Amino acid sequence: EIVMTQSPAILPASPGERVILSCRASQSVGSKLAWYQQKPGQAPRLLIYDASTRATSIPARFSGSGSGADFSLTITSLQSEDFAVYYCQQYNEWYTFGQGTKLDIK
Amino acid sequence: QVQLVQSGTEVKKPGASVRISCKASGYTFSDHTLFWVRQAPGQRLEWMGWIDAGYGDTKVSQKFQGRVTVDKDTSATTVYMDLSSLTSEDTAIYYCARRGYGSGHLYFDSWGQGTLVTVSS
């Protein structure tokens, strides 16, 4: 099973800041990586797929990069609604998720 | 718009079974594969099984083989998951999720609202 490891576990930040969330796979997944956002009491929402393609209606301040085993999600100019938990998921070999990064208000 | 609406909260005793439904609307039901994903407290999201809503093919994750059954009612555009032999470790939120269309789109592009299942004696 491909293990996905996200860092950091908790990321304190302030509105307006730029943040970078990391995700590492235990083996190469090519570009078969997605990012999801989850707010309390809600289902995950697809943000990014194929490592760098924004899903429908996702603002341009969200961007994804990377390939192989190392990936990142960058959020520029944080908005209040962006404080949530973010998960990466590989779908190159079945489906596995990272443990999540909680983006907290500083 | 795409909607996946799941059945409501369940409370079960250890050893019992639970059946969760997920009604799809806003798209061609048979075009997509639907997954069941669970989120247990403090645990990662994990996929449990899927069903191809067109052909009816199913697959259950090895971890849940023997305990999970996935099926569908095409006329009702609804998929179901049965989970048997419940233990406290099955206490979780269960989501249905739609996989993207076509072999090149294997991510989950829409999710149901989740169904909380609590297993307690």
Which of B97, B106, B112 is nearest residue A32 as measured by Cβ atoms?
B106
Q: How confident is the model at residue B79, as a pLDDT?
A: 98
The answer to whether the CB atoms of B108 and A44 lie below 8 A apart is yes
Residue B105: what pLDDT? Answer: 80
Q: What is the 3-state secondary structure (H, E, C) of chain A?
A: CCCEEEECCEEEECCCCCEEEEEEECCCCCCCEEEEEECCCCCCEEEEECCCEECCCCCCCEEEEEECCEEEEEECCCCHHHCCEEEEEECCCCCEECCCEEEEEC
Q: Is A102 on the interface with B (CB under 8 A)?
A: no
- The C-alpha angle with vertex A81 and arms to B115 and B47, in degrees rounded to 5, equals 30
**What residue ranges of chain A have pLDDT lower than 50?**
none
pLDDT in tens, A10-24: 999 999 999 999 999
Q: How far is CA A12 from CA A20, A81, A104, B120, in A?
A: 11, 14, 5, 36
- Confidence at residue B103, expressed as pLDDT on a 0 to 100 scale: 72
User: In this complex, which of A43, A46, A95 lies closest to B113 when CB atoms are compared?
Assistant: A43
Cβ contact A92:A3 at 8 Å: no
| Average per-residue pLDDT for chain A | 97
Instruction: Output the pLDDT for position A44.
Output: 97
Say yes or no: B94 contacts chain A, CB-CB below 8 A: no
Q: Which residues of chain B have pLDDT under 70?
A: none
Using a CB-CB cut-off of 8 Å, the residues of chain B touching A49 are 100, 105, 107, 109
In chain A, pLDDT over 70 holds for what percent of residues?
100
